Structure 1
Amino acid sequence: MLAFVIIEFVPFTKLWVNVDFHLYKSQRQEVVERVYSGELVPNVEYNSSMIALGSEYSKVSMGGNEIQIQDINGLKYVFFFTFRGILDNYSGFLYVPDGGDPINFADLNEEDVTQIIKYADNWYYTSHH
């Protein structure tokens, strides 16, 4: 009975997301700075908005160690995957520049299938399914 109660009421996913955010926030911030400086540029042959990261950043973006960047109205958004599903199912941490809005990134404007949670200044956890 105790196991059932734990499984039912302990928010394991939320705990894991919180730990992941805090463990890798400084590395993700470093990647964002390198994107903004022009040091990291799209380098994935099949997708001009993707950057494959080197082994030094092996834990900041799951499902292929790639990040997605998007320039929207002159503002650069940077997305780090925590889950990379099939087709349009994904979740992760989105860096939103000052003056930006996370709802502008990719397909996050679809309310019925999108979750956006602010984690810190400029940082959001987002999921789309």
Structure 2
Amino acid sequence: MEEETKQIKNKQPNILFYFMLSIGLIGSLTILLQKIYRWALVDIFTPFFAPFIELFGYLVFIVCSSIVFVYFVVSKPFQRARNGIPILINIVVLILILIVPFTSLTLNLDHRFNKSEREEVIKMVLDGSLKPNVSYNAAIIHLPEKYRKLSKGGGEIVREGRGQDTHILFYTYRGVVDNFAGFIYTVDGKSPDEMLFGDFIQVKKLEKNWYWVSAT
């Protein structure tokens, strides 16, 4: 009986440690995945609700980090090396979030993986088989089902200009009013024209003919 009692007492710190480790991982994974899939969350929850989802993610991280920090502080000195692992994981994740440009990485991956399909759409736009098809804007093209994933915020692209001045915009973020971000293909390869899309906050050349822009 005494032996069983000792075994139970020995197991309790291990159970508590793994419970705290789980809490730390929940906080870290929540904020990390939120950062990686930020644009997808905006597309799913709309630009109006996405900030609240993002705020909730940060609150989860703060609460989980606070719990595992208290667990570390109240631990006995000989247990702190192990019991500090959960808060250490959260600290490492926080540093990663602050220094790693997750937005740039996800946008570059988006461009690489979807470039060929976007160029299929561009070819159809330029040869006239895909034309503006919505009543409320003469520049917007609602994409066929197969290609809607290529442009966030409803699967629509924007064609501006004609001939060598043609610009085709695929949204990566579509704001409530005028602000947006996305990939722009320019037929002549020149930098996108602000007169066509509004004031650019950022313009980044990805490769020949391709740019990523953020605008207000």
2:104 aligns with 14
Question: SS of 1:88's equivalent?
Answer: coil
Counterpart CA distance in 1 for 2:112 and 2:94 is 29
Larger gyration radius, structure 1 or structure 2? 2
2:192 aligns with 102
Which of 51, 56, 62 is the equivalent residue of 2:146?
A: 56
Q: CA RMSD in A?
A: 1.6
1:12-50 CA-to-partner distances (Å, cap 9, x unmatched) read: 111110010001100111111100000010001111100
Report the identity percentage: 38
User: Which of structures 1 and 2 has the larger relative contact order (alpha carbons within 8 angstroms, sep 6+)?
Assistant: 1
Q: 1:17 to 1:31 in 2, by over 3 A?
A: same
TM-score by length of 1: 0.89
**Following superposition of structure 1 onto structure 2, how do residues 72-91 of structure 1 map, counting pairs within 5 Å?**
75-91=165-181
Which 4+ runs in 1 deviate beyond 6 A? none
Counterpart CA distance in 1 for 2:162 and 2:120 is 21
TM-score by length of 2: 0.55
Question: SS of 1:42's equivalent?
Answer: coil
Q: 1:119 to 1:62 in 2, by over 3 A?
A: same
Which consecutive unaligned segments of at least 5 residues does structure 2 have?
Answer: 1-90
Aligned residues of 1:98 and 1:122 also touching (Cα < 8 A):
yes
Give the strand-richer structure, 1 or 2.
1
**Following superposition of structure 1 onto structure 2, how do residues 41-52 of structure 1 map, counting pairs within 5 Å?**
41-52=131-142
State the shift of 1:100 in Å: 3.9
State the shift of 1:77 in Å: 0.9
Match of 2:159, as an amino acid? I
2:205 aligns with 118
- How many pairs were matched up? 125
1:38-71 CA-to-partner distances (Å, cap 9, x unmatched) read: 0010001111100000111022101000000001
Counterpart CA distance in 2 for 1:19 and 1:74 is 28
Aligned residues of 2:189 and 2:209 also touching (Cα < 8 A):
no
